[in-house]
Structure 1
Amino acid sequence: MIHETPIHIRYSDTDLNGHVNNAVYATYMEEARIAFLQEVFPGQRLPLVAASIHLDFRRETRYPEHTDVVVKSWLTRLGRSSFEFYHQITSVDGEVLCEGTAVVVHYDFETRKSAPLPDWARQALLPYVREREESNLRV
């Protein structure tokens, strides 16, 4: 399954040249992860921390030419205590603008260490595990 999160680009997301600032893509991915987790675990909070984030920029995202984007998200790996999100940020007409991954870790805030994912969480996440679909675009 693929989760989709629509995001409206704000003028404040851009630099002086009208480009969406590179740091903002990480925020778009974070918004998508939050929406994903709220849908998969409604009313529940899974204690997670980000372990790594990686971005590959594919095309310019310019304002006001792009006023909205869509973040498509799924999982490419489901480990014992962590899982990897794959995010594809596209224009509303499907042009790939940015691709990225984020590894999140199930975390015990009392011991300050990673903790195994509960079976119920693993079962809820399994339908979202699929192969990574890299774009053919190279910058």
Structure 2
Amino acid sequence: MRANYITEASTWASEFSFSVPVTVRFSETDMFGHLNNTVPFTYFEFARIEYLKHLGLMNNWLHESSEKMVVVADLQCDFLKQVFFDESLRINVKMASVGTSSGDIHYMATDAKDEIVFTGRGSIVQINKVTGKGEPWTEEEKSFFVNEFVK
């Protein structure tokens, strides 16, 4: 693989423990039937939100009394194979590293043959809703991610 965030492909791929299924819709393709190059980012968003819900963090941020929320700071996608209309994919998600108020999330999309079709990564940052400044993870929040690392 050519992505600079992947050092050893088979080890990297084996570390994913969460995934969501998606099927490529007609509206997500171009005139040649290929997946439009912007669509993986919506798949990443869907998978990221489901992953954060799975960890038990999303409800905290969505609660009206919460002073914190998570935003995406950057996002990239690396395409490995063509993807077409009506293909079934799995979008795998993992937290690759955790900082003081940020985290680096990695994505791996596989097809029905379990072949990697595209990968991605992005940074999320927990911020204060009022100030817009970074808000450090609590020890409890960090523990959700750490538990993912040791699975």
TM-score w.r.t. length of structure 1? 0.86
Distance 2:58 2:93 in 1: 20
Partner of 1:31: 46
Gaps of 5+ in 2: 1-15, 62-68
- 1:50 is aligned to 2:84: no
**CA 1:42–1:84: 2 relative to 1, 3 Å:** closer
Distance 2:80 2:70 in 1: 28
Structure 1 segments, 4+ long, off by >6 Å, are: none
Q: 2:84 aligns with which of 47, 54, 62?
A: 62
- Percent of paired sites with the same residue: 24
- One-letter amino acid of the counterpart of residue 94, structure 1: D
Partner of 1:136: none
Distance 1:30 1:102 in 2: 10
Structure 2 SS opposite 1:99: strand
Larger helix proportion, structure 1 or 2?
A: 2
TM-score w.r.t. length of structure 2? 0.80
The structural deviation recorded for 1:128 is 2.4
TM-superposition CA deviations, 1:9-42 (whole Å, max 9, x none): 1110101000000100000011000100111116
The structural deviation recorded for 1:129 is 3.2
RMSD between aligned alpha carbons?
A: 1.5
